[in-house]
Amino acid sequence: MSTPDKTNLLNLDQQGLKDFFASIGEKPFRATQLMKWIYQFSVDDFEQMTNLARSLRENLMSHCEIVAPEISETQASSDGTIKWLMRLPDGNGIETVFIPEDDRGTLCISSQVGCILNCKFCSTAQQGFSRNLSTAEIIGQVWRANKELACIPRNERRITNVVLMGMGEPLLNFDNVIRAMNLMMDDNAYGLSHRRVTLSTSGVVPEIYHLKEVANVSLAVSLHAVTDKLRTELVPINKKYPIVELLQACREYVKGGPRRKITFEYVMLDGVNDSDEDARRLVRLLSHVPSKVNLIPFNPFPNSPYLCSKAKRIAAFRDILMQAGVVTTTRKTRGDDIDAACGQLAGEVQDRTRRQQRILQMDGKLQ
């Protein structure tokens, strides 16, 4: 539980920590010592940081804290996928998912509580938007997952990739997301390559240009349709930033970077966006953008109006793209035996909470 009058050090990247130490009269190099304790060894007790002077540790204990989101529910799939519902101090819940594969371990994290963009095929969107996550709440998901998976020391880590593809639109929480990504890539923290940190956006065009100026991470774009009419229906932000503007921003983002590509995510919706003509239009759209396509079988959730495309239809769509020279993968379905759709677990818990509140209210009226 966080303390209002204490500084949560997870909110500060390396430069922020150096500035903080300078403000309390300490040498800036203490920042790197502290970062190694926090991120490489998952230590949140200042007393254990034995290479810091006793006076400094006491100062930190008096004025600082290291507080990450707490795990309130865990779902483990038979395929190794783990989904955590993490509870925030204000009672909100966010989701974090660990997906192990033979050659990597990917952690999918959230950047907001809910989402404001209202994409029609997204479970998170049905819950509405509550607020942005702080830097501590974003990097704290990585910290908590590393601790749960016993990834200590860092060279034994199971988390090799981090993707901001969970709840929320990362580019609408720009500053906090940038600080968190800085920590993911800082050698004194998690030391991930910029190629192994991926930000996924629904297409906030001005912030894509801004991102290019301040970060060098991989970019994934939720495209999902090949006409403005359909994309505006599925991804309403398209009305403000239509496909032609989005693709121009994508071209600019990878310009000057050798072998860099944008990953375009395309959810496969039965009879909606999965025809052969859709595939051919997609080829034409991406012909001038260094890109690869990730086809995503739709993961149904309660009250969704959509169904997942049939396996044969997805394969035919993929083959058209690949025959045209577009690097294309089909995302493996993971976590089928748990609440796998993003936002589904948080939504289910919120529904249970509301039901409990209604029951308590009814009990009060009956007494």
Per-position b or e across 201-219, b if 16+ CB within 10 A of its CB: bbbbbebbeebbeebebbb
pLDDT value at 342 more than 80: no
How far CA 121 is from CA of 18, 62, 169, 349, in Å, comes to 43, 47, 15, 20
Mean per-residue pLDDT, 225-231: 97
Active site residue 342: yes
Region of 135 on the Ramachandran plot (φ > 0 left; ψ -120 to 50 alpha; else beta): alpha
Q: Which helix (H) or strand (E) holds 289?
A: none
Sign of the CA dihedral running 39, 44, 49, 54: positive
**In degrees rounded to 5, what are phi and psi of residue 226?**
-115, 0
Q: Which residue has the higher pLDDT, 299 or 132?
A: 132
What's the CATH number for 70-350? 3.20.20.70
Place of tokens 């976590």: 335
pLDDT at 277: 98
How many secondary structure helices (H) and strands (E) does the chain include?
11, 14
Local confidence band at 153 (pLDDT 50, 70, 90 cut-offs): low
What pLDDT does residue 118 have? 79
pLDDT > 90: percent of the chain? 72
Average pLDDT in the 309-331 region? 97
**CA 66, CA 38: separation in Å to the nearest integer?**
8
Q: Which amino acid is at 278?
A: D
pLDDT at 122: 79
Query: Can you say whether the dihedral through the CA atoms of 9, 14, 18, 20 is positive or negative?
Result: negative
Q: Is 152 exposed, middle or buried (0-12, 13-18, 19+ CB in 10 A)?
A: middle
pLDDT per position as a tens digit, 25-69: 888 889 999 999 999 999 999 999 999 999 999 999 999 999 999
Residue 254 CA to residue 262 CA, distance in Å, equals: 7
Separation of alpha carbons 95 and 192, rounded Å: 21
Identify whether the C-beta of residue 224 lies closer than 8 Å to the C-beta of residue 265.
yes
CA angle, 334 then 340 then 341, to 5°: 115
What is the mean pLDDT of the segment spanning 276-285? 98
- Given 95, 137, 169, 265, which residue is catalytic? 95
pLDDT in tens, 184-203: 999 999 999 999 999 999 99
DSSP letter at 133?
Answer: P
State the fold for domain 7-65. Answer: DNA polymerase; domain 1 (1.10.150)
Region 204-233 average pLDDT: 96
Q: Burial level of 57, CB count in 10 A (0-12/13-18/19+)?
A: middle
Q: In the chain, what are the domain boundaries?
A: 7-65, 70-350
Task: Quote the Cα angle for 123-125-127, to 5°.
Answer: 85
Asked if 7-65 and 70-350 have one fold, the answer is no
Among the listed residues 108, 115, 308, 342, the single catalytic one is 342
Structure tokens given for 200: 């996924």
Q: 245 catalytic, yes or no?
A: no
The yes-or-no verdict on residue 348 having pLDDT over 60 is no
Point out the least confidently predicted range of 109-113, 134-138, 349-353.
349-353
